[in-house]
Amino acid sequence: MTEQGRRVLIETLTGANFLVLVLSVLIGLLINIVSALKWWMLIRAQNIVVGYWRAFSYYLVGQFYNQILPTSVGGDVVRSYELGKFTGRHADAMASVFVERYTGVLVLLLIASVSVLAQLSRFDSAIIYLSLAAFAVGLAFMAWLILDLRAYTNVKVLVIGFAPKFGFVFSKIDKLLESISAYRNSSLALLGAFTNSFLFYFIAVVNVYVTALVFESDVAFLDVLIATPVIMLLMNLPISFGNLFLMEFAYSGVFVLMGYSPALGLSVAITMRLKSLIDGIMGGLLYPFFVTKKYE
């Protein structure tokens, strides 16, 4: 960043509207509440008895680990592991996290694709196109593996034939796939998950919009509505620990494409990271109270 760019960034940050910033933090909390609700509904669809606030606490604990591990994968593993310890149903716990993430990313891909198609002249970027293609291929591949088990079965037979000790590993995978497949019979749970995902991303748009207003009052909601799904898609690329630099690149780059200054995009990214750190700190504080030493 040039000296002039740093000066503009500092001016943007120091001109923040404190009251709007407080509102932005509260909206960030609402996002966590809504997202945890989706996970909790999927948990209950598996007939797992667990309270919403415990699920919410596990969700925040996952946010804590997201700060230091690649994207949200590390946090997902931790919260599914803790839920599995609490309930004694590890496969079902992991399946609930998988379905929650899969439906969310699928909706994000759909919304981001619509945004890009609606503004092709603005989003004429190889990185954006490649990201859309990568997520589409990845989601389709996972769906194929789950819906058509022939490839998995062939690999399992081949591996166990050469190394029988891996049979234990495949038995765990079998249970996970069975738990994931069980959601195919839970149409109401899946409908709720997709509906919640659309609600989540709308609140995410409001979150970005209000955060942008912290630094600049002349921001169009329609621009943020179009930009946010693309930003979130780029941020979900599994290429950075804790989304370090990736978040900043996504916000500043997409804001520039939408006609705003890179300083505004970077200021929003910095604020979003600070809000994520707050979530992580809350999860870290809750962790000692909700960690489960054994099945209760």
Contact yes or no for 284/62 (Cβ under 8 A): no
Per-residue pLDDT of the chain (296 residues; tens, 9 = 90+): 555 556 655 666 677 788 999 999 999 999 999 999 999 999 999 999 899 999 999 999 888 888 776 555 778 888 999 999 999 999 999 999 999 999 999 999 999 999 999 999 889 889 999 999 999 999 999 999 888 888 888 888 898 988 888 888 889 999 999 999 999 888 899 999 999 999 999 999 999 999 999 998 899 999 999 999 999 999 888 776 667 788 889 999 999 999 999 989 999 999 999 898 888 888 888 878 766 544 44
Contact yes or no for 227/58 (Cβ under 8 A): no
Contact yes or no for 206/29 (Cβ under 8 A): no
Report the pLDDT value the prediction gives residue 8, as an integer from 0 to 100.
55
Report the pLDDT value the prediction gives residue 295, as an integer from 0 to 100.
40
Domain edges within the chain: 16-290
Distance CA 179, CA 93 (A): 9
Residue at token pair 């081949």: 158
- Of 199, 211, 284, 293, the closest CA to residue 247 belongs to 211
Contact yes or no for 47/191 (Cβ under 8 A): no
52-66 helix and 73-87 helix, angle to the nearest 10 degrees: 150
Report the pLDDT value the prediction gives residue 99, as an integer from 0 to 100.
96
Structure tokens at 58: 């596990």
Report which DSSP code applies to 241.
Answer: B
- Of 67, 79, 106, 94, the closest CA to residue 179 belongs to 94
Report the pLDDT value the prediction gives residue 169, as an integer from 0 to 100.
87
What predicted TM-score, i.e. pTM, was given to this entire model?
A: 0.89
What amino acid occupies position 254? V
Instruction: Please report which helix (H) or strand (E) contains residue 84, including its range.
Output: helix 73-87
Q: Would you give the distance in Å from CA 44 to the centre of its chain?
A: 21
Distance CA 227, CA 206 (A): 12
Q: How far apart are the first and last CA of the chain?
A: 53
Report the pLDDT value the prediction gives residue 291, as an integer from 0 to 100.
66
Report the pLDDT value the prediction gives residue 296, as an integer from 0 to 100.
41
Distance CA 76, CA 169 (A): 20
Distance CA 282, CA 227 (A): 29
Q: What is the dihedral of CA 258, 259, 260, 266, to 10 degrees?
A: 50
Q: Exposure string (b/e) for 165-175, b if CB count within 10 Å is 16 or more?
A: eeeeebeeeeb
